[in-house]
Amino acid sequence: MNRIDVEVAIVGGGIAGLWIANLLLRRGIEVALCEGGAGGLSQTSAAQGIIHSGVKYALDGVATPASQAIAPMPARWRRCLAGCGEIDLRGVPVLAPHCHLWARRRLGAKLANALAKQPWAGAEQVADADYPAPFERADGALFRLQDFVLDVPALCRRLATPLGKRLLKVRVEPRHLAVADAKVSALRTDAVEVRARRFVFAAGAGNEALAAAAGHPTPMQRRPLQHVFAHGRSPAPIFAHCLTDGAPQPTLTIATIGGRHAIGGALAEAGATRSKGEQVAAAQQTLQAALPGLDWRRHRFDTLRIDRAEPAQTDGRRPQQAFAAVGGNCLTVWPVKLTLAPQLGDMALKALGA
Ligand SMILES: Cc1cc2nc3c(=O)[nH]c(=O)nc-3n(C[C@H](O)[C@H](O)[C@H](O)COP(=O)(O)OP(=O)(O)OC[C@H]3O[C@@H](n4cnc5c(N)ncnc54)[C@H](O)[C@@H]3O)c2cc1C
């Protein structure tokens, strides 16, 4: 059996585990990271890669705890991409330097007023003559946001590189934790024993079982999505949040990645309980109404069911910020958004005293 002694053992190799591992490595702290996704789809690998500025959480012009938590994040990510941030992300491709916010018809004027009340957001209205192709012929108002889009697989590869052999392909079951007096001393699978002073559970949906087995139950909630993919040609990639009906959140969030449009937003949330056929029909109808310049009937549609795993909230809604909770020598973390990885990193370093 392979035996490893480190300061911090991390379970989960999504954005949370990879980000925290990199922060610790940069401080000279020895880590091992166990990633057990045997072909399973993680939230990180499903993410569109949008680094949000927070505008979509303050669409009526009033800052919210969620918009305030996320607003500093794009600048921190940009520093990392430039090689002068907390983590070196030089070389990670930026798929779009800006996202658009698109509001149909009269909603456009309402939105312009709301955005004028939030100069921190740096949103700029796009002149009609400058509309990119997918928005031509559409009746409404278009804004350029500070949100930008990263290539997520490349981001994960970049974050995995410094770990080298300390990135272990190991699924850690709750029974693998060696626990005494509410402290974990090691995790032991058939293949490896990892002894550590501190353990970080960054396993997304796997956290609840691990934290409970360690003797520090941390309630989790799942919010299901049925994400939509539209495969087909469009005159240009689309990276946009679309408001269509005055709802407090974008009806559609579209990111064109690898030749297909990945579509989330309220459509994906409301569609979680629909059949695949119903969800595809709803997507076609909503897309055609939002962006009539494209013939969406010519696209081939597919869907993906996936849960967002987060700390439980009393109202079951989206948590407003990243989450880190200490129990004994364990830390359980959920970033809540890919964008919030730097905030989660701050919390983790503080909790680990690093
Ligand atoms: C469809 C979708 C699109 C999204 N788009 C965006 C976006 O554009 N921008 C944004 O900011 N946020 C986005 N998010 C949210 C964001 O992706 C998540 O908040 C974030 O990726 C969660 O990261 P995580 O590391 O906590 O979890 P995960 O990414 O789920 O990673 C957990 C990892 O732990 C591993 N694991 C689980 N159990 C075990 C175990 N027992 N042993 C070992 N390993 C284990 C899993 O294999 C997985 O790799 C999106 C989410 C979804 C679902």
Ligand 1 mean position to 305 CA, how many Å? 14
Q: What is the pLDDT of residues 339-353, one digit of tens each?
A: 999 999 999 999 999
2-45+154-219+313-352, CATH topology level: FAD/NAD(P)-binding domain (3.50.50)
Q: Which pLDDT value is given to residue 224?
A: 97
d(Cα 241, Cα 255) in Å, to the nearest integer? 9
The ranges assigned to domains in the chain are 2-45+154-219+313-352, 94-147+222-311
Question: Quick one: three-class SS letters along the chain?
Answer: CEEEEEEEEEECCCHHHHHHHHHHHHCCCCEEEEECCCCCCCHHHHCCCEECCCHHHCCCCCCCHHHHHHCCHHHHHHHHHCCCCCCCCCCCCEEECCCEEEEECCHHHHHHHHHHCCHHHCCEECCHHHCCHHHCCCCEEEEECCCEEECHHHHHHHHHHHHHHHEEECCCCHHHEEEECCEEEEEECCCEEEEEEEEEECCHHHHHHHHHHCCCCCCEEEEEEEEEEEECCCCCCCEEEEECCCCCCCCEEEEEECCEEEEECHHHHHHHHCCHHHHHHHHHHHHHHHCCCCCHHHCEEEEEEEEEEEECCCCCCCCCCCEEEEECCEEEEECCCHHHHHHHHHHHHHHHCC
Mean pLDDT of 3-17: 97
Closest by CA to 224, choosing from 262, 273, 261, is 273
The matching CATH number, chosen from 3.30.9.10, 3.40.1010.10, 3.20.20.10, 1.20.1440.230, for 94-147+222-311 is 3.30.9.10
20-29, 255-264, 288-297: least confidently modelled range:
288-297
83-92, 128-137, 273-282: least confidently modelled range:
128-137
Q: For residue 38, name the pLDDT band (cuts at 50, 70, 90).
A: low
Q: For the chain, how many residues are written?
A: 354
Q: Which pLDDT value is given to residue 332?
A: 98
Higher-scoring residue by pLDDT: 135, 72: 72
* Both tokens assigned to 59: 């669409």
Q: For residue 40, name the pLDDT band (cuts at 50, 70, 90).
A: low
User: For ligand 1, which residues put their CB under 6 angstroms from it?
Assistant: 11-17, 34-37, 40, 42-44, 46-50, 52, 171-172, 202-204, 206, 225, 227, 264, 306, 308, 334-339
Give me the amino acid identity at 142: L
Q: What is the pLDDT of residues 97-123, one digit of tens each?
A: 999 999 887 788 888 888 888 887 889
Q: For residue 42, name the pLDDT band (cuts at 50, 70, 90).
A: very high
95 pLDDT more than 60? yes
Give me the amino acid identity at 71: A
Q: For residue 195, name the pLDDT band (cuts at 50, 70, 90).
A: very high
82 pLDDT more than 80? yes
Whole-number average pLDDT of the chain: 94
Q: Which pLDDT value is given to residue 137?
A: 73
- Looking only at the bridges linking them, the beta strands covering 192-201 and 330-334 are parallel
Q: Which pLDDT value is given to residue 187?
A: 97
Mean pLDDT of 271-276: 98
105-109, 123-127, 194-198, 256-260: least confidently modelled range:
105-109
CA distances from 140 to 121, 226, 242, 290, 342 (A): 20, 27, 10, 9, 35
d(Cα 25, Cα 17) in Å, to the nearest integer? 12
- The percent of residues above 90 in pLDDT, for the chain, comes to 78
248 pLDDT more than 80? no
* Both tokens assigned to 332: 């359980």
CA distances from 277 to 117, 253, 285 (A): 41, 20, 12
Mean pLDDT of 238-252: 87
Q: For residue 319, name the pLDDT band (cuts at 50, 70, 90).
A: very high
Best residue among 10, 11, 44, 194 to mutate for probing ligand 1's pocket (most ligand atoms within 8 Å of CB) is 44
CA distances from 242 to 127, 150, 291, 346, 347 (A): 17, 19, 9, 32, 32
39 pLDDT more than 60? no
Best residue among 43, 221, 223 to mutate for probing ligand 1's pocket (most ligand atoms within 8 Å of CB) is 43
Q: Which pLDDT value is given to residue 155?
A: 98
Higher-scoring residue by pLDDT: 136, 351: 351
Q: Whose CA is nearest to atom 2 of ligand 1?
A: 47
Ligand 1 mean position to 16 CA, how many Å? 8
Q: Which pLDDT value is given to residue 184?
A: 98
Higher-scoring residue by pLDDT: 112, 51: 51
- Contact by Cβ (8 Å): 213, 317: no
